[in-house]
């Protein structure tokens, strides 16, 4: 029977990476204390350092762009519905319905 894999929340990973960055204990010591392989902790640390710059990205511009694109798409769809309704009305009028 296979043992189930342990899953760590992002908060737990962040706490462990912070402990590594404090350098009060070695990665091996932390791995032994928490029952995690040292390679996993090293990978989490590397990933955290690589993604650190994303913390300071201002997402408001991209959110506003998405919102404007969405509103434009809604406007275009309403225009298509209006055009289709007008064509349907014209067809009904011409066919005598």
Task: Reply yes or no on whether the pLDDT at 69 is more than 80.
Answer: yes
Contact 20, 27 (CB under 8 A): yes
Residues 40 and 70 placed together within one structural domain of the fold: no
Give the number of domains in the chain.
2
Q: Which domain holds residue 77?
A: 58-97
Q: Is 3 part of any domain?
A: no
Alpha-carbon span 18 to 1, nearest angstrom: 35
33 CB-near residues (< 8 Å, 6+ apart): 25
Residues 49 and 82 placed together within one structural domain of the fold: no
Alpha-carbon span 70 to 28, nearest angstrom: 50
Q: Is 78 part of any domain?
A: yes
Contact 53, 64 (CB under 8 A): no
pLDDT digits (tens, 9 = 90+) for 23-61: 999 999 999 999 999 999 999 999 999 998 888 877 788
| Maximal C-alpha separation, the chain | 87
């Amino acid at each position: 029977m296979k043992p189930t894999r342990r899953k760590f929340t992002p908060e737990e990973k962040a706490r462990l990476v912070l402990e590594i960055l404090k350098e009060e204990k070695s990665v091996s010591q932390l791995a032994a204390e928490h029952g995690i392989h040292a390679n996993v902790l090293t990978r989490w640390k590397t990933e955290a350092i690589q993604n650190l710059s994303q913390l300071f990205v201002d997402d408001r511009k991209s959110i506003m762009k998405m919102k404007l694109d969405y509103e434009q798409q809604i406007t275009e769809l309403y225009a298509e519905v209006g055009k289709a309704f007008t064509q349907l009305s014209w067809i009904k009028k011409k066919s005598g319905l």
